[in-house]
Amino acid sequence: MKNILTFAILIFILQSCISVDETEKDSLPYYQFTNDELKKLIIKSDIGDERIYKNQDNEFIKFIIYKSQIEKSLFSTGNFSSSYSSNHYYYDSQEILMWYKEGNVYSSCKIKIIKYPEGSNYQTQYPIVGTPKFYGYIEFPIWNGFNKDDQYDNTIYINFDLPTISMKVNEKTYLKVRIFESGKSAILSPSVPTLMENNVNKIYYDDNYGIVGFDDINGKLWRLQ
**Chain segment 80-100, per-residue pLDDT in tens:** 555 667 788 899 999 999 999
More confidently predicted of 45 and 130? 45
For residue 73, give every residue at least 6 positions away whose Cβ sits within 8 Å of its Cβ, in sequence order, or none.
90, 91, 92, 93
Maximum Cα interatomic distance, the chain, rounded to a whole number of Å: 60
Give yes or no for residue 168 having a pLDDT over 80: yes
pLDDT band for 27, please (50, 70, 90 cuts).
confident
Buried b (16+ CB within 10 A) or exposed e, 144-179: bbbeeeeeeebebebeeeeebeebebeeeebeebbe
Give yes or no for residue 10 having a pLDDT over 90: no
CB atoms within 10 A of CB 69: 11
- pLDDT per residue over 203-215, tens digit each? 999 999 999 999 9
Burial class (CB in 10 A: 0-12, 13-18, 19+), 29: middle
- pLDDT per residue over 34-89, tens digit each? 999 999 999 989 999 999 999 999 999 999 999 999 999 998 877 655 566 778 88
> What is the number of structural domains in the chain?
1
- At CA 131, angle to CA 130 and CA 137, rounded to 5? 105
Range of the domain at 169: 2-224
Q: Which of 10-14, 25-29, 207-211 has the highest mean pLDDT?
A: 207-211
**Looking at this protein, which amino acid is placed at residue 168?**
K
